[in-house]
Every structure is written in C-alpha cells, then in structure tokens.
Amino acid sequence: MSTVTHTPGGLAGPDQAPPPAPRAAVGGGAGARFFNGFSHLFLAVWAVMVVYPLLWVVMSALKTDSEVIRKPLSLIPERLQWDNFARAWTEGQIGSFFVNTVLVLTGSVFLTMLLGSMAAYVLARYDFPGNRFIYYMFLSGLTLPIYLAAVPLFKGVYNMGVTLPFLGPNKHLMLILVYVAWSLAFTVFFMHSFFRTLPTAIAEAGMVDGASHSRLFFSVMLPMAKPGLISIGIFNVLGQWNQWYLPTLLMQSVAGEPKNQVISQGLIELSVNQGYRSDWSGLFAGVTMAMLPVLIVYIVFQRQVQSGLTAGVSK
C-alpha cells in the first residue's frame, strides 16, 4: 500500500520526497550587518571630527590666556571666564562687526529671495522666446569662480562709486548689491526646479477667478513654495555670513575702520592684532559669537531645510 505525503505545495507521490525547507541567506545577513556597522562607525568618526573643533573653540573662549597657551587641547577650563565675551564684544568691537553683518545680510538675502524667486517663477511657468537662453545665462554664473572676476568687479564697483557717491565702494549698499548678484545664480537654479513641481491646476484656477499675474505669484504660488524658500534662504544666509573675499576686495579702504567692517573682516583683523595684544581668549570668544548665529539658524530650521530639499523629488 503506497503512502501519500501531504506537502504545503500539494500531494507528493509514493516515491517523491517532500521539498527541502528553504535555507536562510547567511551571507547576505552578515554582509548587511557589516555594512551597517561600518556606516555607523564612519558617521561616529565624522561626527567627532566635526563636533570636536566646534566644542574646542567654545571651551577655549571660556579659558584665560595662560590656559589657552599651556593647555591648548584641554576642553575643561579651570574656571569659566564669561567676561571674555564682554571684552570681545566691546574692546574687540565684535558688536560693530555683528551689527554691520546683520544689516548687510538683511538687505542682500531679502533682495536675493525676492528677485531670484520672481525670475525662477517666470522662467519655470511661462514659455516665451529666449526662456532657455536666459535660464542658462543664470546657470553660467555657477560655473564662474568669483576669483576670476575680481579685477572687473573691483573696477566696476569703483567706477559706479565715482559716478554715484552714495554707492561708493566702501558703502554697505554696494556690498548688498554685489551679494545679490553673487547669490542669484544658485537661487534661480534651485527655485526654478521647485516652481516646476507645483500643480498647474491651482494656477489655472487663480487665473479663472480673475487674479493678475503678480497677485497669482505673491498670493498663491509663493506661499506654496515656502519649503523651497526656507531652504534656499538658509543657504544664502550661511554663504553670505561666511563670505570673506568679497568684503575684503570691495571694502579695502575701510581696514582700520571697524565701524564699517563686517564680521569676517573683523575676525581677520582681530586675529592679526593678537601678535601685539595676545588676547587669545578674546579671539576665541569673538569666533564663538560669529559661529553661534549660523548654528542656531540651521538647528531651528533643520526640518524645513530637509523638507525643502526633498519636496521636488516627492512631488
């Protein structure tokens, strides 16, 4: 009498053995665990490499000058010297540098975002002769290093300052305009891709309701592009806050006039003067105060930056 074996896949004959059980892929699991462990180790090392210098600067700002020289790599000060920040703000004139930088960035970032978003919107949503040519002209600004344009830029700023005295090369307004021109290329490139992802039906509904092109842009499309505006705004703030070359090139004659300098110029001058004053703790305090605003801005808007960068992909 033959026997019939019941198997998950059906009935097996008398001489047919049941199929073997599937074997776990040992190699794949071990490889995945190795890769995960290696990636976590790499990220941990990278985090230490990034965080340690920042922490070292902050803790050095709380030391005395003798501690900075005797124990340069020590993170724990013997006693917290909070007066270093007050001395750097007043005697080091970090306060003047800070105010000048905030004024310049307020004007330059606002104009960059306004003009860049308007240009990107028109290039992304309207078809007209020369559209692609204008767009590629903006993109060409990303390929030109600012150092190659130093001589014509300085000459142009100088000539404009002679023609229009209120736009002299030592004025903050001229630096604002140069910052705007320097940042427009990437702003248009980023916002152009973002505006193309916005739904066309909403724009058409606004036009049917009688909205003008300007009202449609400011009341409908621009609020919808808020994640992208926040992301590119953070990039512009970081890039212009850390900019050193353009202020040094265009505001050369204000060296020694801290009331007109931005913070990047002020920190360079403050570091050069350490050879005569030896106020190293004040220098670290000034660097800390210059570093903290951009860190705070990024930490506060971190989620908005990430959502803005991924919005174009997910839509």
Look at residue 45 and tell me if it is in a domain.
Answer: yes
d(CA 227, CA 225): 6
Closest Cα to residue 224, out of 126, 123, 113, 311? 311
Are 41 and 164 in a shared domain?
Answer: no
pLDDT of residue 110: 94
Task: Identify whether residues 166 and 307 lie together within a single domain.
Answer: yes
What is the pLDDT at residue 119? 94
**Any domain includes 48:** yes
pLDDT tens per residue, range 165-183: 656 555 788 889 889 998 9
- CATH assignment at residue 134: 1.10.3720.10
Q: Which residues have a Cβ under 8 Å from the Cβ of 290 and sit 6 or more positions away?
A: 94, 97, 98, 263, 267
Query: Is residue 121 scored above 50 in pLDDT?
Result: yes
Residues in contact with 264: Cβ distance below 8 Å, sequence separation at least 6, in sequence order: 101, 242, 243, 244, 247, 248
| 180 and 51 within one domain | no
Instruction: Specify whether 228 is located in the same domain as 302.
Output: yes
Q: Tell whether 266 and 293 lie within a shared domain.
A: yes
Residue 123 included in any domain: yes
- Which of 76-80, 87-91, 100-104, 257-261 has the largest mean confidence? 100-104
Is 226 inside a domain boundary? yes
Considering the domain architecture, whether residues 238 and 276 belong to the same structural domain is answered as yes
| 252: in domain | yes
Q: What is the mean pLDDT of the chain?
A: 79
Mean pLDDT of 44-63: 89
Shared domain check, 174 and 37: no
Q: What letters, b where the CB count within 10 A reaches 16 and e where it falls short, cover 41-77?
A: eeeeeeeeeeeeeeeeebbbbbbebebbeeeeeeeeb
One domain, residues 50 and 135: no
Residue 14: strand, helix, or coil: coil
Q: Are residues 98 and 64 in the same domain?
A: no
17-26, 38-47, 86-95, 218-227: which range is least confident on average? 17-26
Question: Are 286 and 227 contained in the same domain?
Answer: yes
Do 102 and 225 lie in a common domain? yes
pLDDT at 167: 60
Residues 155-188 as b or e (16 or more Cβ within 10 Å = b) = eebeeebeeeeeebbebbebbbbbbbebbbbbbb
Residues 247 and 118 in one domain: yes
Does any domain span residue 251? Answer: yes
> Which among 54, 81, 108 is the end of a domain?
81
Whether 46 is covered by a domain: the verdict is: yes
Q: How far apart are CA 37 and CA 210, in angstroms?
A: 59
Sign of the alpha-carbon torsion through 235, 237, 238, 244: positive
**How many structural domains compose the chain?**
2
Residue 8 included in any domain: no
pTM of the model: 0.76
257 Cβ partners below 8 Å, 6+ apart?
none
Cα–Cα distance, 256 to 169 (Å, whole number): 16
DSSP state letter for 128? -
Residues 6+ apart with CB under 8 A from 306: none
Full residue range of the structural domain in which residue 37 is found: 33-81
